[in-house]
Copies of this chain bind each other. A is one copy, B any other.
């Protein structure tokens, strides 16, 4: 049962308290740092090219999120991914808005070319990266189709040689051979900014303690089950957002076993 190793992954995360180095966007820096702290990891945010190497030496994983990129930040991201790869530290990429602008698509592809461990995006973003450039509408999860999402995860994984998580009503996670489907979460996540980015950063914490495919699945299940619990306490976006941190902190093996909707599917 997947629930078993998801619970173990969470225990390992809380035991190790991994230090996750983030080069992320201005909108969600606070949000993702708090999500990492709530679940039991330790975040650091550093982007200066002059300190990336020092910071990566002490970090357990690197998360790169292109949400508010510009030329200076792109240089930092590329340097960080390159160094992390050399140091054999896991790398998680969130290609926010890929497809919406050529700069975002190109930057994501350049980073994938250097090499990542996990790529997490919505349907439109991952599709854009696989060549359907120009169909994404901003950072929304438009045009989702479950059957296509599964294939997208599988194909993108092969193409970019990385675990890929395509998130949406049903999330599909693949390492190019196997595919998992996760059906947790709540639509209210779409009414709070940076929830996708939170999921990505939490993958950074899990991949510091677990192999990439399981790390990506565990992060999505933990995050989305926390969202379900949060929504049950607060059905409005401001309060829901706050309760989400509460439940990232409170979530445990028992809740995961009770709530996880995860299954391996035919590739």
- From residue 175 to 204 of chain A, which have CB atoms closer than 8 A to chain B? 190-194
How far is A58 from B250 in the complex, measured between Cα atoms in Å?
40
A236: B residues at CB distance < 8 A: 245-247, 249-250
Chain B, Cβ-Cβ closest to A55: B101
Chain B, Cβ-Cβ closest to A243: B238
A58: B residues at CB distance < 8 A: 100, 137-138
How far is A225 from B101 in the complex, measured between Cα atoms in Å?
36
Contact across chains for A193 and B26 when beta carbons are under 8 A apart: no
Minimum Cβ distance to chain B for residue A190 (Å) = 8
How far is A62 from B188 in the complex, measured between Cα atoms in Å?
25
Contact across chains for B26 and A103 when beta carbons are under 8 A apart: no
Contact across chains for B48 and A25 when beta carbons are under 8 A apart: no
Contact across chains for A245 and B237 when beta carbons are under 8 A apart: yes
Instruction: Please tell me which stretch of A34-42, A82-90, A152-160, A210-218 contacts chain B, meaning at least 4 of its Cβ atoms lie within 8 angstroms of it.
Output: A34-42
Contact across chains for A70 and B43 when beta carbons are under 8 A apart: no
Contact of A191 among B25, B28, B47, B249 (CB under 8 A): B249
How far is A59 from B138 in the complex, measured between Cα atoms in Å?
8
How far is A48 from B31 in the complex, measured between Cα atoms in Å?
22
Contact across chains for A45 and B69 when beta carbons are under 8 A apart: no
Contact across chains for B71 and A50 when beta carbons are under 8 A apart: yes
Binding site for B on A (CB under 8 A): 19, 25-31, 33-34, 37-38, 42-51, 54-55, 58-59, 67-72, 97, 100-104, 137-140, 190-194, 234, 236-239, 241-247, 249-250
A to B CB contacts below 8 Å, 30 in the list? A19-B137, A26-B26, A27-B29, A27-B45, A28-B30, A30-B194, A33-B193, A33-B194, A34-B238, A34-B241, A37-B237, A38-B237, A44-B97, A44-B138, A45-B67, A46-B97, A46-B101, A48-B69, A50-B103, A51-B101, A51-B103, A51-B104, A54-B101, A58-B100, A59-B138, A70-B72, A236-B246, A236-B247, A236-B249, A239-B242
Q: 14 additional contacts, CB 8 Å, given A27-B30, A30-B31?
A: A19-B138, A25-B45, A28-B30, A34-B193, A38-B191, A46-B97, A46-B101, A51-B69, A51-B101, A58-B138, A191-B249, A236-B247, A238-B241, A239-B243
A-B CB proximity, top 10 nearest: A238-B245, A236-B246, A54-B101, A33-B193, A51-B101, A48-B70, A51-B103, A238-B242, A238-B246, A44-B138
